[in-house]
Structure 1
């Protein structure tokens, strides 16, 4: 099978893009790679097709008729957690953070290379295996002060208060927590959490770290400029 796609049971992908030419080009490439592809062209149709077909991954444009991709992502993630790769025409950090906040796992800025899109899709579909591997690395639990991570239930508490994280934010936190105080390179985080070592993914890491900091506290994730990030224990006052 081409482009590094999984050779296990054929995964089903929902492609949501209102531009017919782009939608068909992406669909043809994914089908040529061996995936089962379902198409949608607007927000309401995307949610309906998601419920009807139960895809393994959603490739989702931000700008859609009916309602936008952020609302689509919010609705489908509330129904059933699923990997989402967002497509955006704007390389704007605020817009990207909104997408990550509603449950997107990764994003690509248009125009994009088809080979890179297929590689990211394949990486996101390996998410369950990576999540299980990362969870096993955190036993026994490290001392993280008042930050408590339950890898079995995928729950996080800060000073006793439960914090809601997206699946990707949780996996990123698990990766950092496996070596508290150790600086992990952005490229390594992208390879371990997203499963693909493409250099263009480092901005994805930065955006997710920013979203994670907003939820667990900025002081808990230390930045080493030009290198990466480290999780630092913070004692309960």
Structure 2
């Protein structure tokens, strides 16, 4: 069974932990800058604020590529979470302490906010697009959609990066994680926006001052990520104890 641990202050403020927080800040900044930037760039090139099939594919591919890089550059320092839902799922599965996870959240949110303010500056004050529900889609449907796609993301993180039995899969974990995010954006983008990441949605909301429906991109991803952590951590990562040696 996975053991959820609160953690100790000395561990959360160690040199290694501080480096991990900085790594999460940088990785999230890089991911959000590219992801949100791709949406701004497409709107500028097409002079349209509407999401069409070509725009959906371009944005999904950019998010997948950017997350692959963001996870890769942070993997050896912080684990490359780049997402509060991933951190939450790993905490519920006993892979990170709650206290350290809280500081990961802070670093990730600050990285996203910084990325969006940088985008607003370098684009001459262009509108920062925020996640929102499609016309005719209710809040409940949006939450369920985000639960499902975030479950898929965090389950993939466990299977390819967190499970000690992963073997050689660990070397392709960033690729698999980037692929599932790109695929989920293609599937959910026209409906819920395909966030899967509270930080990815929070930064644009702060920068634009538009928090409409933002709670959906907290509740859905955290529930989905938490379920993935509890299920994988307690069902597929059970410990097998070695019998004590017989001394007689």
Same-fold call, TM cutoff 0.5: no
Higher helix share: 2
Higher relative contact order (CA 8 A, sep 6+): 2
Higher strand share: 1
TM-score by length of 2: 0.26
TM-score by length of 1: 0.27
